[in-house]
Amino acid sequence: MPRPSLPHRMTSQSTWVRSLAGLICAGALTACAQPPAQPPAPAPALSDELVMATAWMQTAGEYAALSHQAFNLARMNLDRALAADDGTRRPAIIVDVDETVLDNSPYQAWLIASGENYQSDTWHQWVERASAQPMPGASEFLDYAATRDVEIFYVTNRRDSETEATLANLQRAGFPDANAEHFLPRTDSSDKTARRQRVAQSHWIVLLMGDNLGDFSAGFDRESAEARRAAVDAQANAFGARYIVLPNPAYGAWEGAIYGNDFSLDDDEKARARRNHLEAWGGPTTP
């Protein structure tokens, strides 16, 4: 095939160059038209980690079943103890308040919805509403204990300044002995030992009920999660007998033990501490 004449070749090359330049410009314009890169999404709020625990507390039949189970077991143990009573001192039961006889999960749900963490001022506002509902089985058990001439003492770490609102809530729930004589709030230390001893001076403490190990003995207040577990194992026979535990996956001293009892950690540090305490399976093996 004969070669094209020079002018024709130059025209073809010019056309090719113009086409290439057009493609380059079009590509540049297309690139310029792309939206700018977005910054990474912010990390989820620490309160988001409460979702599963709070959803379980508010919806799971299993949660209600565990609460009923605890109070049914308490009733059986109370009957057994009273059958052997020598009548020397009047029997009493010590109960914690939060997540033991009153359900505060709506406050946890508010933390999630608002993206907030626990703060004493918002907690105080919740307490002042006096609207917490009874834990499943709590009313029936406490009423039964009262019919057996057993006094109920509410030993709580709610502040002394929250006494009036808490008593109003307990009374609204219809609980027996919901009065100042039977209500022992926190005044200085969160350690409940002295308050339990005060009750023991005049009463025979048949049962203790709570959602936190400190509701039973300060001996469980250890520095690490591992030490707390070991302390429980050392007194395994007391649980389900004299100590009745209510489930609470949302908060408690168990959480503090994960942080080395340092609640001043920021949210990222707390999130890392939680994950660092998980014991994970190594995962599937590849062939």
Within the chain, what is the greatest distance between any pair of CA atoms? Answer: 127
For 206-238, the pLDDT digits (tens) are 999 999 999 999 999 988 999 999 999 999 999
Q: Which helix (H) or strand (E) holds 55?
A: helix 51-59
Token readout for 187 is 């005044």
pLDDT-above-70 percentage for the chain: 85
| Cβ atoms of residues 66 and 100 within 8 Å | no
* The token pair that represents 126 in the structure block: 């919740």
Q: Write phi, then psi, for 223 (nearest 5 degrees).
A: -80, -25
Q: Is 195 helix (H, G, I), strand (E, B) or coil?
A: helix
Q: Sign of dihedral through CA atoms 124, 133, 203, 208? A: negative
In terms of CATH architecture, what is 46-276?
Answer: 3-Layer(aba) Sandwich (3.40)
Low-confidence spans in the chain with pLDDT less than 50: 1-13, 16-17, 20-21, 23-25, 28-29, 31
Indicate the SS3 state at residue 130: coil
Instruction: For residues 142 and 131, give the distance between their C-alpha atoms in angstroms, rounded to a whole number.
Output: 19
Provide the pLDDT for residue 187.
Answer: 94
pLDDT at residue 43, rounded to an integer: 67
pLDDT for residue 223: 87
Q: Residue 134 phi/psi, 5° resolution?
A: -65, 145
**119-154 as b/e, with b when 16 or more CB fall inside 10 Å?**
eeeebeebbeebebebbbbbbebbebbeeeebbbbb
pLDDT, tens digit (0-9, with 9 covering 90-100), for 158-213: 999 999 999 999 999 999 999 999 999 999 999 999 999 999 999 999 999 999 99
Could you state, in order of their start, the residue ranges of all structural domains in the chain?
A: 46-276
pLDDT at position 245, please? 98
d(C-alpha 23, C-alpha 109), whole Å: 56
For the whole model, what pTM was predicted?
0.85
Q: Cβ-count burial of 234 within 10 angstroms (0-12 exposed, 13-18 middle, 19+ buried)?
A: exposed
Distances (CA, A) of 35 to 23, 30, 38: 21, 10, 8
Q: Show the tokens assigned to 13.
A: 């090359």
Mean pLDDT of the residues in the chain: 90
